[in-house]
Structure 1
Amino acid sequence: MASKMRSLFHDPDYYVKTFHSYYADIYNKFDVHASWADRVFGEKIVPQIRVTLGEKEEFRVLGIGSGSGETDVIMLTKLLQRFPLINNRVVEPAEGHIAMYKALVQSKAHELHGVNCDWRQQTIDQYEKAGDLTKFHFVHAVQSLYYVEDPDRSLMYLYNLVEPGGVLLVTLSSSEKSQTHRFRVGLPSLQDDLFKHIATANIRDSLDRRGIPYAEYAQPSRIDVTKCFDPSSEEGAQALDVLTHIIKFKETASAELQAEVMQRLAEFSDKRGNKVVMINDWDAVVVFKPME
């Protein structure tokens, strides 16, 4: 990576601003996740949790890299239908995202009655090194294992934090279908140690090697990257920052690298009328931990 280019992760404030704008305005992530929560999480995952709790015992949830909390809140409302008391521990390194998560919880207090939140401003690696041995009935890492030191080790660490009868949920880009994944993998000049170019095939391989059964649910998703091809578009420039994981990519990358990126973006996208769209399908890998 050129010395004048910096990964998004070196500027947490810019990371939070850019990602939130991208997900909310370009990707429509939160609408996609709301649909998924109804179709898959509420109907196929929550009913399979085999946990028996006392009358005043809390159902324990651990969220890894939960961002600004929109997806967490959707899942918590589904869980509340079965478990009226929930302790929700959130491990999220970005201070800005935690502030947004707290504000969201406050605004939806009437929907989250019974949920007690415990925020930890840490990466998963920092959380693991702190040595907390608490186990949970539901552990989830939604689009966050890209950012760990060793995805295979972190996966098994999370699995070991799940109580018998509980569930581990991991979502990542689809190895087979995601054009965004293939776009990034083919750009080694942009890769650094802070972002792992992994997809669900890596998770499946880790579980298969250990004989751990799992279920998998595919989620179609699309990204509108039309504005990326407009040199004057600020929204397009921000989308490129997210797609490349580089701060102000258009201002710091060489002309040659920008040309390579735009060529690959055209290669791994589809023109649909007046729009240019990338397939961003992701998969949910779900491990139902057996009772002991």
Structure 2
Amino acid sequence: MTTTAKSPAGTTASAAAVPAGTERLGTRGAGGSTLRRRGVGWLGFAPFGVYVLLFLAVPGVVAITSGFFDASGRPTLANFAALGDRTIASNFWSSIWLSAVSAVISAVLGALVCWALSAARPDGLVRAVVDSASSVFAQFGGVMLAFAFIATVGAQTLVQGVVQQLTGFDTSTFLYSVAGLLLPYTYFGVPLMVLSFMPAFDGLRPQWGEAVATLGGTRLDFWRRVGVPVLAPAFFGSLILLFANAFSSYATAAALISQGGIITLAIRQQLTSETIVGVANTAGVLALGMVVIMAVLMTACAALDRRTRRWQR
């Protein structure tokens, strides 16, 4: 049964005959449930928020702002003169080229792995093994990774002896140089590329290849006109991620190189120097320089990620 009622404006409305106030009460109950669910969700997020605040936000702010004060706690801009030092500039440049080269090598090798995996079944054994291995190797770093390379290509090892006999190249001394960091950086860069770039490969539609074939195109035409342009934003976004990951790496380099050479080790020297007193606050200036570079990289990465998501939806 329905009832018809006149509104004050003279219009007619029809509504189901229900007990008065039932609909309004149900709406209020649904809204209250939604608010309670949101409250519980934010409560579950609280531990992670506290962790980020205590171990990321607060140390980051303290590190950056310390560059604006001297050893006595008085505000100063004198610490920024360190950016003009030739050694500091060299460390920044070494970090940039090391991160760029390792990122390019890792991106190319990782893209080839993704291309090979695209022919495997998504739920097959090969895909599962590669995904699991990539997840492990991408997180394997620090002192453990440094020890693994020392035991593999360090002095008096089998690999070092074979390489030196065949090529005359001494891997044991190369490993402890800035250029030698390319080996461990590429080691964890390739699996990171696989993890970040494989979803874009999975987003390629088989219908696109069929459409190209229907129009008389070849496999090469598909990659040249469809595949590469579609994957380009995701590829360069992953490349930037690899650069940022290598640029901010510290533990592996600290275990292999003791005298610095890259900017993260230069920050350590400023904080722990026993020969030059009163330069600890200069580390804040160097950290600020790294933050500026990372902010530019992450902004570009976010823009490329938004472009990638347009066709993945």
Normalised TM-score (structure 1): 0.24
Determine which structure has the larger helix proportion and give its number.
2
For the pair shown, which has the larger CA radius of gyration, 1 or 2? 2
Normalised TM-score (structure 2): 0.23
